[in-house]
């Protein structure tokens, strides 16, 4: 691993005691407006006599800190200013350029701090060091090149010296360029130790948060959870990462109908400001009730529609269609069994024992050309279930199932789109327009209003089937609001 220190040189980076043998007009102790050019030139001319009177109160502390933290320091890059090549620069501004101090700092780093000769290099700012735009362009070019030349290095950025523009641009562009490999340091003359700035880690964490928020906008909980999991150590410095990961895993499992795993995702959370709110998510899972499950299918279908996953939307529509028929048939008294003739709410067949006690229904099914299979069973498919619901609801005088069958019939217009899209030999694509045309006719264009009619028909059918109103706000939107709150905390 290579460790580098990048440091701006400011007017306070070279300390000179009053006894240093340099002319008074060039000595900052005697002339507060002393030219730094003249100072640097005077020190270099009389180096042997002046060197014992010099110190590095800022960069020297940074060097010691880097060696202590990284156990090595392989190179130092000093950044100074020289505006002499520009026209129209005043003498007062030229006098404050630090280009003549850079060789002084280099020699002190070698002679007082033991850096190997040749390990200190110089970058010179030849444009206006006080201009933020110029300094951003300067550092973007230089730091990008450095990052390319040293792809595996760790970069310490000493951001105390230089103009405010040089300081801020080394800090921000360095964090943007090096990411987690950037370690900004602020050094005060009055403090013994540099103060590490976490801007680099903050910027990377902010970038991860923006990625997670973008995933939430499309309900991509799997991708968001992976982002948190892969960056857990960093994110926990800024957000309640464990709670965040738990609720993302909960949402990921819930939207895939893995409700038991959704509960497990929230288990074991420590008591904190968020655990109570997260526990409400777990208590909201009520998958032992068919009505809740039907609502859940509709909420999930809405999400798939809103995010443009039209194939997944159709799959959920038809999952709801059959589930609503089964639920209604059971509520009207129908009984289903599995292949072994065991009672099963999701069974594949009508229960022959129950059907034997319903001779009128049996005759009605036969009149509709419903036939038993080779082992004497009637399949509980959509067609059969529709007949059962129609017959039983009419006999019981309940008008709601008839209305439901009408709504499901409307929704079933989408079957042609689904069949053509998922048939192996066609692979026709699914689009908003095709969905709208199947539901409303060939003149439909797939507008938001037309698609809303499809979704509203699904919602209407669900409320009829369950006898319960759906939430106005999709519960996954509520989950997202909680996640956004975790990200902002």
Give the pairing type, strands 120-125 and 75-81: parallel
H or E stretch at 65: helix 59-70
Query: Across the chain, which distance is largest between two alpha carbons, in Å?
Result: 120
Give Cα separations from 221 to 24, 252, 305, 327 (angstroms): 69, 5, 16, 30
Per-residue pLDDT, 217? 92
Cβ-contact 158, 6 below 8 angstroms:
yes
Per-residue pLDDT, 359? 93
Cβ-contact 26, 20 below 8 angstroms:
no
Q: Which residues contact 202 (CB under 8 A, 6 or more apart)?
A: 175, 238
Locate all alpha helices (DSSP H) within 332-471, ordered by sequence: 352-356, 359-367, 382-396, 400-411, 415-422, 432-440, 448-466
Cβ-contact 112, 60 below 8 angstroms:
yes
Cβ-contact 420, 361 below 8 angstroms:
no
Q: Which residues contact 433 (CB under 8 A, 6 or more apart)?
A: 444, 445, 446
Q: Which residues contact 281 (CB under 8 A, 6 or more apart)?
A: 247, 250, 266, 479, 482
Cα gap 364→375, rounded to integer Å: 20
**Sheet harboring 3-8: ordered strands across?**
120-125, 75-81, 3-8, 154-158, 182-186, 195-196
Cα gap 207→176, rounded to integer Å: 10
pLDDT tens digits along 395-408: 999 899 999 999 99
Cα gap 362→85, rounded to integer Å: 101
Sequence-separated contacts (24+) of 351-360 with Cβ below 8 Å = 352/376, 352/377, 352/378, 360/391, 360/395
Give Cα separations from 295 to 17, 329, 460 (angstroms): 80, 17, 11
Among candidate residues 206, 130, 201, the one with its CA nearest the CA of residue 168: 130
Cβ-contact 375, 402 below 8 angstroms:
no
Cα gap 455→463, rounded to integer Å: 12
Among candidate residues 488, 489, 487, the one with its CA nearest the CA of residue 227: 487
Per-residue pLDDT, 423? 54
Q: What is the DSSP letter of 51?
A: G
55 SS3 class: strand
Among candidate residues 376, 389, 372, the one with its CA nearest the CA of residue 331: 389
Cβ-contact 26, 42 below 8 angstroms:
yes
* Token pair belonging to 413: 């217009």
What value, to the nearest 5°, has the Cα angle with vertex 375 and ends 373 and 378? 45
| pLDDT, tens digit only, all 489 positions of the chain | 899 999 999 988 999 998 889 888 888 878 878 889 999 999 999 999 999 999 999 999 999 999 998 999 999 999 999 999 888 888 888 989 999 999 999 999 999 999 999 999 999 999 999 999 999 999 999 999 999 999 989 999 998 888 889 988 998 899 889 888 888 888 877 777 777 776 667 777 888 899 999 999 999 999 999 999 988 888 888 899 988 999 999 999 999 999 999 988 888 666 565 666 666 777 778 878 899 999 999 999 999 999 999 888 988 998 999 999 999 999 999 999 999 999 998 899 999 999 999 999 999 999 999 999 888 899 999 999 999 999 999 999 989 999 999 999 888 888 777 776 665 456 667 888 988 888 898 999 989 899 999 999 999 999 999 999 999 889 999 899 989 988 987
Topology annotation, domain 3-196: Rossmann fold (3.40.50)
Cβ-contact 235, 228 below 8 angstroms:
yes
**What ranges do the domains of the chain cover?**
3-196, 202-255+275-282, 290-484
* Token pair belonging to 150: 């040293």
Per-residue pLDDT, 270? 61
């Amino acid at each position: 691993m290579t460790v580098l220190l990048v440091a701006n040189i400011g007017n306070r980076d070279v300390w000179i005691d009053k006894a240093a043998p340099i002319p008074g007009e060039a000595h900052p102790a005697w002339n507060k407006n002393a030219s730094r050019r003249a100072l640097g030139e005077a020190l270099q001319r009389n180096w042997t006599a002046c060197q014992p009177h010099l110190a590095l109160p800022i960069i020297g502390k940074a060097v010691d800190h880097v060696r202590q933290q990284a156990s090595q320091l392989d190179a130092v890059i000093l950044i100074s200013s020289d505006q002499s090549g520009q026209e129209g620069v005043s003498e007062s501004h030229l006098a404050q350029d630090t280009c003549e101090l850079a060789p002084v700092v280099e020699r002190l780093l070698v002679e007082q701090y033991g850096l190997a000769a040749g390990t200190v290099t110089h970058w010179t700012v030849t444009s206006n060091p006080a201009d933020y735009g110029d300094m951003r362009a300067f550092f973007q070019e230089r730091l990008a090149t450095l990052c390319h030349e040293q792809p595996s290095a760790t970069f310490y950025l000493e951001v105390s010296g230089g103009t405010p523009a040089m300081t801020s641009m080394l800090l921000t562009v360095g964090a943007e360029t090096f990411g987690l490999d950037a370690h900004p340091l602020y050094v005060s003359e009055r403090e013994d130790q540099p103060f590490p700035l976490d801007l680099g880690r903050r910027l990377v964490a902010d970038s991860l948060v923006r990625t997670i928020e973008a995933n939430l906008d499309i309900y991509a909980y799997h991708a968001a959870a992976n982002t948190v999991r892969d960056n857990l150590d960093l994110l926990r410095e800024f957000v309640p990462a464990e709670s965040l990961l738990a609720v993302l895993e909960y949402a990921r499992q819930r939207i895939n109908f893995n409700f038991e795993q959704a509960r497990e995702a929230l288990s074991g959370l420590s008591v904190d400001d968020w655990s109570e709110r997260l526990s409400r998510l777990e208590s909201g899972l009520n998958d032992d009730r068919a009505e809740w499950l039907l609502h859940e299918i509709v909420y999930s279908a809405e999400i798939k529609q809103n995010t443009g996953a039209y194939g997944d939307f159709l799959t959920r529509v038809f999952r709801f269609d059959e589930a609503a028929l089964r639920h209604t048939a059971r509520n009207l008294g129908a009984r289903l069994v599995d292949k072994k003739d065991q009672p099963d709410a999701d069974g594949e067949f009508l229960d022959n024992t129950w059907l034997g006690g319903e001779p009128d229904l049996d005759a009605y099914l036969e009149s509709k050309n419903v036939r038993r299979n080779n082992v004497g069973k009637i399949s509980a498919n959509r067609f059969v279930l529709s007949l059962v619901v129609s017959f039983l609801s009419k006999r019981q005088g309940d008008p709601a199932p008839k209305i439901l069958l009408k709504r499901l019939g409307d929704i079933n217009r989408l079957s042609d789109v689904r069949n053509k899209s998922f048939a192996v030999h066609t692979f026709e694509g699914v689009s908003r327009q095709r969905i709208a045309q199947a539901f409303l006719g060939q003149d439909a264009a797939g507008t938001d209003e037309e698609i809303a009619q499809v979704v509203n028909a699904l919602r209407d059918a669900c409320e009829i089937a369950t006898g319960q109103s759906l939430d106005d706000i999709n519960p996954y939107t509520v989950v997202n609001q909680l996640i956004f709150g975790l990200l902002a905390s």
